[in-house]
Amino acid sequence: MGKGLKQLIYWCVSSTAVALVALPAQAENTDLEEIVVTGTRFEARSALKSPTPIDSISAEDLTRGGGSSLQDMLKVAVPSFSTPRPVAAGSLDFITPPTMRGLSTGQLLLLIDGKRRHTSPDLNSSNQVGRGDVAYDFNSIPTAAIERVEVLRDGAAAQYGSDAIAGVLNIQLARGTEGVATAKFGMTQQGDGADTQVSVAKGVTLGNDGFVRLTAQYQAHQPSNRATADTRQQYFGIGANGALVAPSANYGSGTGLTASNGTLDPREATIDRDIWKFGDPKYRNAAVFVNAEKPLSDLVEAYAFGGYNRLEGISYNFFRRAGQDETVRSIYPNGFLPLQNITLQNGSGAFGLKGDDLAGFGWDLSTLYGGGRNDLGYSNSNNVSQGASSQTSFDRGNDEFRQWTTNLDLTRRVPLGFEDPLKVAFGLEYRKEFYDLRAGEPASYANGGLTILDGPNKGKPAPVGAQPGGGITPDDAVSANRDSKAAYLELEHDFFDKRLTLSSALRYEDFSDFGDTTNYKVAGRFALTDELAFRSSYGTGFRAPALAQSYFGSTNISFVNGQPLRIRTISVNDPIASLVGASALKPEKSDDISAGFVFTKGALEATVDAYQIKITDRIAMSSNFQSTALTNLLASKGYANIGAVAYLTNAVDTTTRGVDVTLRYRQDLQEWGVLTGTLAGTYNNTTFDRIAGTPAALSAIGITTVLFDLSQQVRFTSSTPKEKETLNLNWQKDRLKLNLTLTRYGEVGQVALTGKTPAQVAALIPGYKVKLVPSAPGSANSDIIQYFGADIVTDIEGSYDVTSDFTITAGISNLLDQYPDKQIASTAASVAAGTNGADNNGTFPYAYIAPYGVNGRTFYVKAAYRF
Domain that holds residue 241: 231-273
For position 61, which CATH number holds?
2.40.170.20
User: What pLDDT is stored for residue 12 in this prediction?
Assistant: 42
Q: How far apart are the first and last CA of the chain?
A: 50
pLDDT of residue 527: 96
> Average pLDDT for residues 320-327, to the nearest whole number?
96
Judged against a pLDDT cut of 60, whether residue 764 lies above it is answered with yes
Mark whether 684 and 617 lie in a shared domain: yes
Instruction: Answer yes or no: do 332 and 418 share one domain.
Output: yes
261 and 287 inside one domain? no
**Domain edge (last residue) among 222, 244, 273:** 273
How far apart (Å, rounded) are the C-alpha atoms in residues 604 and 8?
Answer: 21
Q: What is the pLDDT of residue 801?
A: 97
Q: pLDDT tens digits, residue range 421-441?
A: 999 999 999 999 999 999 999
Pair 248, 285 in one domain: no
Which residues are CB-neighbours of 674 under 8 A, at least 6 positions away? 666, 667, 668, 731, 732, 733
Model pLDDT, residue 10: 37
110 within a domain of the structure (yes/no): yes
β 237-238/806-813 pair status: unpaired
pLDDT tens digit sequence for 562-597: 455 567 888 998 888 989 999 999 999 999 999 999
565 and 653 belong to one structural domain = yes
| Confidence check: pLDDT of 19 > 70 | no
pLDDT of 374 above 90: yes
Evaluate whether residue 766 is within a structural domain: no
pLDDT tens for each residue of 784-809: 999 999 999 999 999 999 999 999 99
pLDDT band at 556 (very low <50, low <70, confident <90, very high): low
- Paired with 148 in beta bridges are 58, 172
Instruction: Report how far Cα 576 is from the mean position of its chain's Cα atoms.
Output: 30
Task: Tell me the pLDDT band of 59, cut-offs 50, 70 and 90.
Answer: very high
Average pLDDT over the chain, rounded to an integer: 91
Say whether both 236 and 150 belong to one domain: no
Phi, psi of 31 (to 5 degrees): -115, 110
With residue 711 as reference, give the H or E element that holds it: helix 710-718
Q: What pLDDT digit, counting tens, does each position of 645-693 carry?
A: 999 999 999 999 999 999 999 999 999 999 999 999 999 999 999 999 8
Rounded to an integer, what distance in angstroms lies between the CA atom of residue 833 and that of residue 836? 9
Q: Are residues 422 and 527 in the same domain?
A: yes
Within a domain: residue 753?
Answer: no
Nearest to 295 by CA among 237, 356, 382, 380: 356
The per-residue pLDDT for range 457-507, each reduced to its tens digit, is: 999 988 889 999 899 989 889 999 999 999 999 999 999 989 999 999 999
Relative to beta strand 339-358, strand 361-379 is antiparallel
With respect to residue 28, please indicate whether it lies within any of the assigned structural domains.
yes
> Are residue 251 and residue 285 in the same domain, yes or no?
no
Q: Using one digit for the tens of pLDDT, what is the confidence trace for 700-731?
A: 999 988 889 999 999 999 999 999 999 999 99
Answer yes or no: is 741 within a domain: yes
pLDDT band for position 278 (cuts 50, 70, 90): very high
Instruction: Look at residue 554 in the predicted model and tell me its pLDDT.
Output: 82
Split at pLDDT 50, 70, 90, the class of 31 is: very low
Q: Which residues contact 820 (CB under 8 A, 6 or more apart)?
A: 788, 791, 846, 847, 850, 851, 852, 854
With 80 as the cut, is the pLDDT of residue 695 above it?
yes
Q: Phi, psi at residue 143, to the nearest 5°?
A: -65, -25
Cβ-based neighbour number of residue 866 at 10 Å: 13
The Cα 488–Cα 39 span in angstroms is: 14
Name the nearest CA neighbour of 311 among 181, 219, 193: 219
Q: What share of the chain is helix, strand, coil (3-state, %, to 5)?
A: 15, 45, 40
Residue 708, domain member (yes or no): yes
One domain, residues 373 and 284: yes
pLDDT of residue 13: 39
Report if residue 763 sits inside a domain: no
Given 222, 243, 273, the domain boundary residue is: 273
Tens digit of each residue's pLDDT (9 = 90 or more) over 199-248: 999 999 998 899 999 999 999 999 999 999 999 999 999 998 889 999 99
> Tell me, what's the pLDDT at 44?
78
According to the model, what pLDDT value does residue 641 have? 72
Query: What's the pLDDT score for residue 29?
Result: 37
Q: What is the dihedral of CA 467, 473, 476, 477, to 10 degrees?
A: 120
As beta bridge partners, residue 742 has: 727, 794
- Total domain count for the chain? 2
Is residue 507 domain-shared with residue 540, that is, in the same domain?
yes
Residue 11 has pLDDT above 70, yes or no: no
Percent of the chain whose pLDDT exceeds 70: 95
Whether 406 has a pLDDT exceeding 70, the answer reads yes
pLDDT score at 14:
39
Residue type, 224: S
Nearest to 231 by CA among 319, 330, 331, 328: 319
pLDDT band with cut points at 50, 70 and 90 for residue 33: low
Q: Which of 240, 273, 306 is the last residue of a domain?
A: 273
Instruction: Find the range with the poorest average confidence among 75-84, 347-356, 691-700.
Output: 75-84
Q: Is residue 26 over pLDDT 50?
A: no
Residue type, 135: A
Residue 23 pLDDT > 50, yes or no? no
Q: What percent of the chain has pLDDT over 90?
A: 76
Q: How far apart are CA 483 and CA 166, in angstroms?
A: 23
Q: b/e map of 405-416 (b: 16 or more CB within 10 Å)?
A: bebebbbbbeee
Q: How confident is the model at residue 67 (pLDDT cuts 50, 70, 90)?
A: confident
pLDDT the model gives residue 98: 86
Per the domain annotation, does 380 fall within a domain?
Answer: yes
Residues 256 and 210 grouped into a single domain: no
pLDDT at 575: 87
* Contacts for 352 with CB less than 8 Å, ≥ 6 apart: 302, 303, 304, 364, 365, 366, 367
- Shared domain for 344 and 255, answered yes or no, is no
Instruction: Determine the average pLDDT of the residues in 608-626.
Output: 93
